Amino acid sequence: MSEDYRKALHQEIDLIAADLVQMGAMVGVTITRATVAFLDLDEDAVEEAVDALVAADDDVDALAVDIEERCIRCLALQSPMASDLRMVVSSLKINAAVERCADLMVNVATSTRRLRSATLTPRLRVLVQRMADEAARLLRLAMDAYAQRNGALGAALDDMDDRLDALQGELVQAIFEAHAAGCIDLQAAVQLAVVARYYERVGDQAVNIGEGVEFVAGAGRAGSGSSAASPGS
C-alpha cells in the first residue's frame, strides 16, 4: 500500500470515528429528552416531545446509514489490513449499538402515552431518573473509550454496567410495591417494567461498544512492534 493510499484510508477512518462520536453525543441528548418527556411533561407537551424525539431519531438513523455505507466502502474498495481492518469492523458494530440506543429512547418517550392516567410515586420517579442518568453515563464513557481507543476503559464497562442492572432490580421491586399498595394499576406496572428494560438495554449496548474498543485496542498492542501503520497515523 502506497503512503498516499494509506494516508487517505486513515483519514477516512478518522472521519468515520468522528461522525460516530457525534452520533453518540446526539443519542446522549435523546436520553435526557426522553426521560423528561416520561417524567415531567403534561399530556399536551408529551406529544410535541415525542414528535421531536422521532425526528431526532430519523437524524441518527440517517447518520448511521451513512457511517455503515462508508465502512462497507472501506472494506470493499480499500482492503484495510491489521489494525485498520479491526477499526472499520469495530466501527460497524459500534454504529449499530449507538443507533439501537436511540431507538430505545424513542420507546421510552412513546411509553408515556400508555401511562397518562398513572401517577408515579416519588420513589418510582427517582429510580427512573437514576436509571436514565446511569445509562447516559455508560454511553458517554463507551464513546469516550472509542474516541480514545482506550481498551482498558472499554473493558471496565462490563463491571460498570452492574450498577445499572442493580438499579433496574430496585425499580422493578418498587413497581411491585407500588402496585400492591394500589398506587398504580397493573397496566402501568407492566409498562414501567418495560421502560426499566429499555434503560438497562442502553447499558448492554454500552458494554457492546466497550467490547468493540477492546477489539481495536488489542490489535494496536499486538501490532505495536510491526511495520504496519496504526489508524490515524
Q: Which letter does DSSP use for residue 17 in this model?
A: H
Rounded Cα–Cα distance for residues 142 and 69 (Å): 22
Work out the end-to-end distance of the chain between its first and last CA atoms, rounded to an integer number of angstroms: 14
Residues making up the chain, counted from first to last: 233
How many helices (H) and strands (E) the chain has is answered by 6, 0
* pLDDT for 112: 85
Q: What is the pLDDT of residue 115?
A: 82
Cβ contacts of 92 within 8 Å, gap of 6 or more:
68, 71, 72
- Domains detected in the chain: 3-221 (1.20.58.220)
pTM: 0.89
What whole-number distance in Å separates Cα of residue 31 and Cα of residue 46?
A: 15
pLDDT of the chain along its 233 residues, tens only? 567 777 888 899 999 999 999 999 999 999 999 999 888 867 778 888 888 999 999 999 999 999 999 999 999 888 788 888 999 999 999 999 999 999 999 999 889 888 877 889 999 999 999 999 999 999 999 999 999 999 999 999 999 999 999 999 999 999 999 999 999 999 999 999 999 999 999 999 999 999 999 999 875 444 443 333 333 32
Q: Which residues contact 135 (CB under 8 A, 6 or more apart)?
A: 31, 164, 199, 200, 202, 203, 206
Angle at 24 between CA 148 and CA 142, to 5 degrees: 45
CA 28, 32, 35, 37 torsion-angle sign: negative
> What amino acid occupies position 193?
A
Q: Compute the C-alpha angle 129/131/132, nearest 5°.
A: 65
